[in-house]
Amino acid sequence: MNKYEFDSGLRRTDKRQRPISFKTITAAALLVALCGCSFAPREQTPVVPLSAAWKTAAPQAGWVSADDARAWQAGRWWELFADAELSALMQRVNIHNQNLALAAANVAQAEALLRQQRAGLLPNVGASVGAQRAGGQDRSTTHSGSVGLNVSWAPDLWGQIGDAVRAQGANVQVSEANLAAARLSAQGSLAAAYFALREQDAEMALLDDIITGYERSMKITQNRYDAGVAARTDVLQAQSTLESARASRVALQMNRELNEHAIALLVGEAPANFSLPPSPWVDRVPAVPAGVPSELLLRRPDVAAAERAVAAANARIGVARSAYFPQLTLQGSIGASGSHLLDVISAPKLLWSLGVALAQYVFDGGARTAAVDQALAAHDAATASYRQASLAAMKEVEDELTALLRLAEQIEHVRVGADAAARVEKQVMNSYQAGLSAYTNVVTAQATALSARRSLMQLQLQRQQAAVALVQALGGGWQAPWGAVDAATSPR
């Protein structure tokens, strides 16, 4: 009879009940302890130079309402603009935009890779069942059957798999942040295109009124020419002014159609199947809370993604360093065989084996050293990328704060000028009809008034789009959902 047998707990025991030695217990404890080690450096968010406040003060301080605060914190920043049609389009972007579908698929891939990495921490178990029949000329037919169970496990002695899991976990967070960035980009592009389209609606409505007035002026001038009190050049100048306004309207119509096509793409529609009828322009510019620069490192998805890339690169240093150490593999199998498969099941003849393998590179030409150097350099690159992304984000916020402030000042000046130009246009036209002024003065006054009114609308659009850009620069109310970057808000 065999000296050893397996008890109900699958423990190999000696029939003489030989006590387990202290060395065995110590070795097992050491093995368990080593399975949790890691050679990756301590994870630390790179230092970024931050100021205590923004250089340019926000144009409007505080919240407009508690509802606006909740909308911002929930990521529904477009509701600050109080445009129901824009809000409806945003919902379509979130559902049908294909760039978002691509980013969501990338998140799913990253999560699947993470599950694969985690599987490496567990043993591999395989089972086999076989039946064979053999024979030939002048030979009797023989039968055989077998059943087997194989188990192998490579304990993560040096933390190689654990570091790989941590790296992939950070990659999952990178993909989540990239999804948030793609969503914010699509939403910002939609808002910018939508506001441009609505401003063009307003400009075209203005030009329609202007063209009607120019047609009236053309008729008055033609009547004066027919009556012999106006020169032919007055008629030609009136006609030139009218046709110029009509051409401007056609250009606006073209730009409106292009913006409509862009919106169709963003909401996942074919341009031929999508249209937005003209509607009044809500030229509201809401108060957007800029907060403090340190919050930006959590609220910008691209900055959060760059920080997580640093964490992934840090973990991959541990993966590269662990290659210096031997790899241990434990293997075991148990099986049975017989002349028939039914015999194996009914009266098995058990066979078992246990094995330990230790593998170590003796010479690799410096490949492992080069891999560690590459991982360190990749970490340095990721750190520089994170710092650059953080600085660029702060620059974008400062740019948009400046734009909002200066555009507000510019709009006030242009509004006063537009009102004055409108009064001049009316007075000059009255003077011309009374025969006290040349028509060239009318043309000049009309062109000045029209230019001022259109400039005012375009500046209002620029300021509205600057508010959208500020929302994007601030991360759209999104915040990193993981705690690893909380340190980014600490003073530098």
- Per DSSP, the residues of 398-437 read HHHHHHHHHHHHHHHHHHHHHHHHHHHHHHHHHHHHTTSS
Lowest mean pLDDT among 4-18, 229-243, 367-381, 404-418: 4-18
Structure tokens at 418: 């537009």
Q: pLDDT at position 3, please?
A: 37
Of the candidate ranges 1-5, 143-147, 207-211, 431-435, the one whose mean pLDDT is the lowest: 1-5
Predicted pLDDT at 341:
63
Residue type, 251: A
Q: Which residue has the higher pLDDT, 488 or 73?
A: 73
Q: How many helices (H) and strands (E) are present in the chain, helices listed first?
A: 11, 6
Give 161-201 pLDDT, tens digit per residue.
999 999 999 999 999 999 999 999 999 999 999 999 999 99
Q: Could you give the strand order of the β-sheet that contains 139-153, starting from the edge strand earlier in sequence?
A: 124-136, 139-153, 327-338, 349-359
How sure is the predictor about 243, in pLDDT bands with cuts at 50, 70 and 90?
very high
Q: Specify the higher pLDDT residue, 363 or 109.
A: 109
pLDDT band of 14, cuts 50, 70, 90: very low
Q: In a 3-state reduction of DSSP, which class is residue 335?
A: strand
The predicted structure's pLDDT at residue 350: 75
The residues near 45 (Cβ < 8 Å, ≥ 6 apart) are 307, 310, 484, 485, 487, 488
Distance, in Å, from the CA atom of 190 to the CA atom of 336, rounded to the nearest integer, reads: 68
- Is pLDDT of 36 > 70? no
Nearest Cα to 121, choosing from 80, 88, 153?
153
- Tell me which DSSP letter residue 268 carries: T
Digit-coded pLDDT (tens) for 78-114: 999 999 999 999 999 989 999 999 999 999 999 999 9
134, pLDDT greater than 90: no
So what's the pLDDT on residue 178? 95
DSSP state of 21: P
Position 25 pLDDT exceeds 80: no
pLDDT at 39: 85
DSSP, collapsed to helix, strand or coil, labels residue 355 as strand
Which residues 6+ apart lie within 8 Å of 301 measured at CB? 177, 178, 180, 181, 184, 475, 478, 480
pLDDT > 90? residue 402: yes
Using the predicted structure, report yes or no on whether residue 347 has a pLDDT greater than 50.
Answer: yes
Confidence of residue 345 (pLDDT cuts 50, 70, 90): low
Predicted confidence at residue 43, as pLDDT, reads 86
Q: How confident is the model at residue 35 (pLDDT cuts 50, 70, 90)?
A: low
- The answer to whether residue 487 scores a pLDDT higher than 50 is no
Residue 307's pLDDT is: 94
The mean pLDDT value of the chain amounts to 85
Has residue 12 got a pLDDT over 60?
no
CA gap 477, 83 in Å, rounded: 19
* Residue 73 confidence (pLDDT): 75
Dihedral angle over CA of 442, 448, 453, 455, nearest 10: 160
| Average of per-residue pLDDT across 336-364 | 74
Q: How far is CA 164 from CA 35, 47, 237, 255, in A?
A: 14, 25, 76, 51
